[in-house]
Amino acid sequence: MAFIHENWYKKDRLYYFLSFSIFCNPSSALRNSKMPRIKETKSNINEAYRAIKRLMLKQKLIPGQKLLYRELSGWLNMSKTPIVNALNRLEQEGFVTSEPNVGYMIKPINQKEIFDSYEVREALEIKALETAIKSATVRQMAGLEERCRSFDQYRPYQYDKKKLMLDCEIHLQIAVISNNEVLRYLLRRNFDHMILRIQQDNYIPERMEISSQDHKNLLELMGNQDFPKSAELLSRHIRNDRDHVLLCISGENQDEMDVVSMFESGS
């Protein structure tokens, strides 16, 4: 499944080659001959951007890891320039960070950022759910059911990236049904950070079965157009997922629960 889509960046210039003007002005031909190289550079930057994200997805690049141009250049078979531009873009989006005289590194995610991300996710998903329940077609609900089935049927021994992406696709489908493209984009970006910047090594396998049952119950409530109960279940599902992530990224379970309590109390 392709869980990262790059359709937000479009070509911003059109170049026209007029044979008559080239014939009359050779210097114009020399300038125009460089245009394809500009296009190629933009293409290389986009490819470098996607390729670095793929390396993060495969955990060849992990949070806190310093990024070496020579290593990236070898992996991607690209020169330094498009890689630097791709890293600048990733830094603007919060996936990497940089320090003067040190360079770039994959940006680690902390407990506060996880908590804040789930808070935003909950607000987005509840809004999407409210609209989706009112407007969902039979075909759209069938698509949601198919995604729930795919999540349930894929049962790895431990949590992996594919399981998380299948989970995200269920929630993104609700956003699709809501027909709010901005909401969908923001939700996908939220999921990108959770998937790419958190390692799932300590995720509890039993959580997969709990999530699967939550999805089935949500599907049934949406089919009955019961928004209050659907919203209650979805909020509980998202918060339980948040607590599970916070619990698993820390070696000290009690300390992690103290963090959750601190944030919820507003301290």
For 251, the 3-state DSSP assignment is coil
Non-local CB neighbours of 160 within 8 Å, separated by 6+ positions: 200
pLDDT value, residue 251: 53
pLDDT value, residue 168: 96
* 242 and 162 in a common domain: yes
pLDDT value, residue 7: 38
* 182 and 77 in a common domain: no
pLDDT value, residue 28: 41
Does 10 map to a domain? no
* 191 and 102 in a common domain: no
* 66 and 32 in a common domain: yes
Does 13 map to a domain? no
Does 51 map to a domain? yes
Q: Which of 106, 127, 149 is at the close of a domain?
A: 106
Q: Which of 86, 106, 126 is at the close of a domain?
A: 106
* 142 and 81 in a common domain: no
* 123 and 91 in a common domain: no
Please report, in tens digits, the pLDDT of each residue of the chain (267 residues total): 444 433 333 333 322 222 323 233 444 433 443 434 334 467 889 999 999 999 999 989 999 999 998 899 999 999 999 999 999 999 999 999 998 888 999 999 999 999 999 999 999 999 999 999 999 999 999 999 999 999 999 999 988 999 999 999 999 999 999 999 999 999 999 999 999 998 887 889 999 999 999 999 999 999 999 999 999 999 999 999 999 999 988 754 444 444 444 444 443
Q: Contacts from 39-44 at CB under 8 Å and sequence distance 24+?
A: 39/11, 41/81, 41/82, 42/11, 44/78, 44/81, 44/82
pLDDT value, residue 101: 82
Does 128 map to a domain? yes
Distances in whole angstroms, Cα of residue 196 to Cα of each of 10, 30, 157, 187 = 25, 44, 20, 14
* 116 and 63 in a common domain: no
Residues 215, 266: Cα–Cα separation, whole Å = 30
pLDDT value, residue 170: 97
Does 2 map to a domain? no
pLDDT value, residue 17: 27
CATH number, domain at 78? 1.10.10.10
Q: Is 124 exposed, middle or buried (0-12, 13-18, 19+ CB in 10 A)?
A: buried
* 133 and 33 in a common domain: no
* 102 and 128 in a common domain: no
**The two three-digit tokens of residue 125, written as one number:** 């998903």
Phi, psi of 142, rounded to the nearest 5 degrees: -65, -40
Q: Which of 106, 132, 167 is at the close of a domain?
A: 106
Phi, psi of 234, rounded to the nearest 5 degrees: -65, -45
Domain extent at residue 134: 111-265
* 184 and 132 in a common domain: yes
Does 5 map to a domain? no
pLDDT value, residue 131: 96
Count other C-beta atoms under 10 Å from residue 169's C-beta: 20
pLDDT value, residue 86: 95
pLDDT value, residue 249: 81
Residues 107, 75: Cα–Cα separation, whole Å = 20
pLDDT value, residue 5: 39
Count of domains for the chain: 2
* 138 and 94 in a common domain: no
What totals of helices (H) and strands (E) does the chain contain, helices first? 12, 2
pLDDT value, residue 21: 34
pLDDT value, residue 199: 83
**The two three-digit tokens of residue 200, written as one number:** 């799932």
Residue 236 identity (one-letter amino acid): R
Does 8 map to a domain? no
* 198 and 174 in a common domain: yes
Provide the mean pLDDT of the chain. 82
pLDDT tens track for 109-119: 999 999 999 99
Q: Is 215 exposed, middle or buried (0-12, 13-18, 19+ CB in 10 A)?
A: buried
CATH number, domain at 255? 1.20.120.530
Give this prediction's pTM. 0.76
Does 9 map to a domain? no
Non-local CB neighbours of 209 within 8 Å, separated by 6+ positions: none
